[in-house]
Chain A
């Protein structure tokens, strides 16, 4: 059974850096074809993809946010970390991590975490 769970601060001040951790079980990020991505959702708005890391450490970033994002994995700990710099109140959102396997369901997120709300405010 695949599960993912996001953790990190729920309140961040403007200009600070946000670090979120996705801890997962039921799969290994060392397995060929597997990836873990981050997606955010501002209150009342649609989903927006941010970043993804593949089993082979290949990384992809949203072009509009690339300069502010870093994604890394720790395969031994079953964790993926997302860092977002220079936070602004417009970055207030629920952040989700999600699994994909390009060998089974293709480049589509087939398991999601429960999400966590991060508020950016002074």
Chain B
């Protein structure tokens, strides 16, 4: 049973950077993950896939301000030069043959 742990909330100032974390549990610490952004009252949007080695592949039209990285069982989403429109919920997601598709609990990002 995998658990993907995300902090419920995060905040940062306009123009600053923020690093969101997704922690993988158990025997799934080498899994790749995806980050999805969900703007208020909207459907999710795929941001990127992040591999265990830190390499990442972004979705169509995702700005360079968004980047991914990894360290051990942690997967990160860094947003630099924060814009007001970055205020959203951010979900991580993974997949494995036994567990299929699993989402984290989401982090609500507030831009101050």
Let me know if B101 and A37 touch, CB within 8 A.
yes
Please judge, given known A-B contacts A47-B106, A113-B43, whether A108 and B49 are in contact too, CB under 8 Å: yes
Classify the interface of chain A: helix, strand, loop or mixed: strand
B interface residues, how many (CB within 8 angstroms) = 21
Cα(A95)–Cα(B48), bound, Å: 22
Which residues of B approach A to under 8 Å, CB–CB? 32, 34, 36, 42-46, 49, 57, 59, 91, 93, 95, 100-106
Let me know if A48 and B45 touch, CB within 8 A.
no
Classify the interface of chain B: helix, strand, loop or mixed: strand
Let me know if B106 and A109 touch, CB within 8 A.
no
Cα(A96)–Cα(B105), bound, Å: 17
Q: Per-position contact with B for A31-49: 1 when CB-CB < 8 Å, else 0?
A: 0000001010000001111
Give the residues in chain B near A114, CB-CB below 8 Å.
42-43
Let me know if B44 and A49 touch, CB within 8 A.
no
Cα(A41)–Cα(B95), bound, Å: 18
